[in-house]
Structure 1
Amino acid sequence: MRPRPSILAASFVLALTAAGPLAAPASAAPAPAASASTASARPVTDPGTAPDAVALQAAISGLPDADATAALVRVGGSDGSWRGSAGVRDLVSGRAADPDARFRAGSTTKVVTAAAVLKLAAQGRIDLGTPVQRYLPGLLTSRFEPITVRQLLNHTSGVQAGDGWGDFEDQYAHRFDTLTPEQVVASAVAKGPEFRPGRQQHYLNINYTVLGMLIEKVTGHSYADEATRLVLRPAGMRDTYFPGTDPRIRGPHNHGYQAVEQADGTTEFVDVTDWNQADRFAAGDMISTTADLEQLVTSLFRGRIVHGPQLREMFTVPAGIEGASYSAGLQRFVVDGRTYWVKSGSRYGYSAVIAATRDLSRTLVYSVGATDAKGEEMNAVAQRIALAALK
């Protein structure tokens, strides 16, 4: 039995703003004909546990289409492996998608941030049970009760969401402007707490924005430098970096597009590849590859970056909170009795997921060039990949 699409959508995709009309240069809609795709698999001793290569290939067939311009997929683990890519690098040239391309990894950045905080905790430089107010005095007002570092990690802090530029049209207009993490936090603090710390769980970027500031305060170095030193290098993530205010994606990459409804009712595809996303900071401003994200999850789960009680934080969902599913950096997700630890991430033009069982018998990493990456529903191509990979 396969997991229901509605469950996958609720677990993998966080509904944010829906795209609105935009008066801007746009590309023509993708052609319905399928582009070339590539796939490979590693034989396993027990074919009954191997990834379903036929279902996975079917999941990415026919790209580009209205839902996605490209898909890069890596299924791994002791059950066996499968690699596949489909679609195009860009709609103008129509060249086949680069399977090794870099992309905006969105909120999968939180896995790196959580690991960096936990590693600093293992070194005795951060105490997870200590209020963040002690490390960052003056950041939160007196309206906030003490919020521990652990409560930021598992989204039980009660800090409300910070403000951004607005809907898609406003964000697109400001895509080369800089909104600083400090401005985002200030806007969140001004709203006061949503709930008392530890009483509820509400997944929000703001928790990890504050954790990025904590890393900088404790180490005296930039978040990017410390995340690279503490996590990326030990994991062997050679093609991953934090762009900061640079709107470009350096190196080989597939373009991202957003479907935008025009005034006449037609839909066109706006190239959203270049975008300054510094406001996402430690919550979502990472550029990576599927190979590097696979390295991240396998290195983490094998205890190569953090271990012992710190690693257990990544597999511990807070008790006593109804509906809680988030741990430090990950989300618990059960398919037919098999538990996966998952992190999704999306920015306009790109949707990514990392997922793995605790024993690494099955891992999944994908990047989909989603034309509705911030939509209310799970992208159709991403859903097909998840259904095929996690059954």
Structure 2
Amino acid sequence: MRTRTSLLTAALLVAGIAAGPSVLPAAASAPAAPTAAGSTTGQSPNAALEAAIAGLPNADTTAALVRVGGKEGTWHGSSGVHDLRTGRPADPAARFRAGSVTKVFTAAVALQLAEEGRLDLDRSARSYLPDLIPASYQGVTVRQLLDHTHGIPAADFPGTTVEEWYANRFRVHDPRDMVRSAVSKKPEFAPGERQHYLNIGYTVAGLVIERVTHDSYERQVARRVLGPLGLRDTYFPGTNPRITGPHNHGYQTMRLDDGTRGLRDVTVWGTTDGWAAGDIVSTTADLETFTRALFRGRIVRGPLLEEMFTLPEVTDIRTGEPAAHSVGLSMKVLGGREVWGKTGGRWGYNAAIASTRNGSRTLVYSVNSTDAKGQGMNRTAEKIMVAAYGRP
């Protein structure tokens, strides 16, 4: 359950926050007003989008960066603060952790390899990784890894609370060890029978990419996507827990050293547990370029692009509702039309890319959430999504 206490607002605007083991002084400035750049089509800024990011920082969000594009008009804006210590305005060009948006890059590379005949989506993952995938998972195909219908359970990680995870934030996780942990357990369901959104399928997919290319996953994404599109502010951090280059700070509500609940600066936090499923760092400008190129068929071409817009005909293991995740993307009906995209969350950071199928309206946002991995959607992110596309 998402934690909310009366201390949150005070921690943001009056009493200060905890950064590492020490307590920082309160930011002296008032919440930063949103700044917006008008549409390149000559239209005025979208009032709903501007309202969605107004009033930051608040108890849920310390900063928000938004870019909307496409034939329906363009808009970009930012709000909130770079950090709560100084209270200076958020940097609209800041880099941030994009979390599971990484999966779209991984899926795109896998589909490119399929187009080249180097990877067969209907072939078993075990046939590519016989030394790692046991016979109990021999029926899992590459496609099922990518659309979350594989049935492999999550890997085990130390800790069960955010405080314990924070204590382990510098621990380095090896992807092969994560897979071994997962496949040592019984399948959640037979391959292709249900859908369960988990990171582990993309961890396996990253290793498959390395096996068929005889190259690192990171270099393959750089060579096939980042380089050709000129995404100079997008990179994989590897074992470095810091974000290089300009970035806004991320915060997480948790128990502090003195036993109270408040905000801790979690900007420095390793992401090796995510790897090919969730460790990429990017900017809204780079992700907008990536989204446009993806939906225009410039990254994945021909029939294989349809894999990203085809939902498996199964139900979700938790809700029993029809599957919402395809290869790399997910779909939600907003404002009466299908919107495809991907959200992501790392501690202190929520991000998303989205677009209508024809690319008429694209959206990219970064929201510095104070409970980025909590249940339910961050309130600011939800307002941004509704402002861009309409209500579900």
Q: What TM-score do you get using the length of structure 1 for normalisation?
A: 0.89
2:298 counterpart of 1:312: no
- Output one character per residue of 1:356-380: Cα deviation in whole Å (capped at 9) or x when no partner: 0011111111000100101112111
After alignment, is 105-114 or 229-238 more displaced? 229-238
What residue in structure 2 maps to residue 267 of structure 1? 261
| Structure 1 residue aligned with 2:153 | 160
Equivalent residue for 1:12?
none
- CA distance in structure 2 between the partners assigned to 1:148 and 1:115 by the alignment: 17
| Matched AA of 1:260 | M
User: Displacement, 1:26?
Assistant: 4.3
Instruction: Tell me the distance in 1 between the aligned counterparts of 2:336 and 2:225.
Output: 31
Do the aligned residues in 2 keep the contact of 1:27 with 1:268 (CA within 8 Å)? no
Identity of aligned residues (%): 55
Tell me the SS of whatever aligns to 2:137.
Answer: coil
Aligned residue for 2:73?
80
Aligned to 2:109: 116
**Counterpart of 1:10?**
none
Contact 2:125 2:133 (C-alpha < 8 Å) held by counterparts: no
CA contact (8 A) 2:126 2:137 kept: no
Contact 1:38 1:84 in 2 (8 A): yes
* 2-structure distance, mates of 1:291, 1:190: 41
Q: Secondary structure at the match of 1:139?
A: coil
> What are the equivalent positions in structure 2 for 1:190-205 lying under 5 Å apart?
190-205=184-199
Deviation at 1:320, TM superposition (A): 4.6
Alpha-carbon shift at residue 284 of structure 1 (Å): 0.2
TM-superposed deviation, 1:33: 3.2
Asked whether 1:323 is paired with 2:325, we answer no
**Alignment pair present for 1:172 and 2:172:** no
**Correspondence 1:337 to 2:330:** no
Matched, 1:280 2:279: no
CA drift at 1:165: 2.6
Is 1:39 aligned to 2:36, yes or no?
Answer: yes
Q: What amino acid is aligned across from residue 311 of structure 1 in structure 2?
A: L
Answer yes or no: is the 8 Å Cα contact 2:56–2:62 preserved in 1.
Answer: yes
* Counterpart contact for 2:311–2:325, Cα < 8 Å: yes
Which of 229, 233, 236 is residue 235 of structure 1 equivalent to?
A: 229
Please report how far the alpha carbon of residue 332 of structure 1 lies from its aligned counterpart in structure 2 after TM superposition.
1.1
How far apart in 2 are the matches of 1:384 and 1:292?
22
- 1:208 equivalent among 202, 205, 210: 202
Q: Distance in 1 between matches of 2:304 and 2:145?
A: 15
Does the 8 Å CA contact 2:29/2:87 hold for their aligned counterparts?
A: no
Amino acid at match of 2:192: G
What 5-or-longer segments of structure 1 have no aligned partner? 1-14
Partner Cα separation in structure 2 for residue 241 and residue 156 of structure 1: 28
User: Corresponding residue for 2:364?
Assistant: 365
SS of the residue 1:143 aligns to: helix
Conserved 8 A contact 1:273-1:349: yes
Q: Is the 8 A contact 2:163 2:254 kept in 1?
A: no
Structure 1 CA distance for aligned equivalents of residues 84 and 124 of structure 2: 49
TM-score normalized with structure 2 length? 0.89
In the superposition, relative to structure 1, how do residues 136 and 384 fare at CA in structure 2: closer, same or farther (>3 Å)? same
Distance 1:247 1:154 in 2: 29
Stretch deviating more after TM superposition (286-295 or 25-34): 25-34
Q: Distance in 1 between matches of 2:21 and 2:302?
A: 52
Residues 214-264 of structure 1: CA distance to partner in whole angstroms, max 9, x if unpaired? 111111111111111112222321110000101110101111111124588
Q: How does 1:80-159 map to 2 (within 5 A)?
A: 80-159=73-152
Distance in 2 (CA, whole Å) between partners of 1:68 and 1:31 is 17
Give the SS at the match of 1:273.
coil
Q: Given that residues 124 and 138 in structure 2 are in contact (C-alpha distance below 8 angstroms), is that contact kept between their aligned partners in structure 1?
A: no
Secondary structure at the aligned position of 1:113 is classed as: helix
1:331 touches 1:343 (CA, 8 Å); kept in 2? yes
Q: Is the 8 A contact 1:175 1:275 kept in 2?
A: yes
* 2:296 paired residue number: 302
RMSD over aligned Cα atoms? 2.3
Q: CA deviation at 1:269?
A: 1.3
1:383 & 1:29 partners in 2: Cα distance? Answer: 28
Gaps of 5+ in 2: 5-17, 316-320
- Deviations along 1:29-53, one digit per CA (max 9) or x if unpaired, are 76793214310121648x7xx9x71
The match for 2:9 is: none
Once the two structures are superposed, what CA deviation does each residue of 1:251-286 show, in whole Å capped at 9, x if it has no partner? Answer: 011111111245888532111111111121100010
Task: Look up the SS of the partner of 2:270 in the other structure.
Answer: coil
Paired residue for 2:246?
A: 252
Is the CA contact (8 Å cut-off) linking 1:27 and 1:271 kept in structure 2? no
SS in 2 for 1:351: strand
Q: 3-state SS of the aligned residue for 2:358?
A: coil
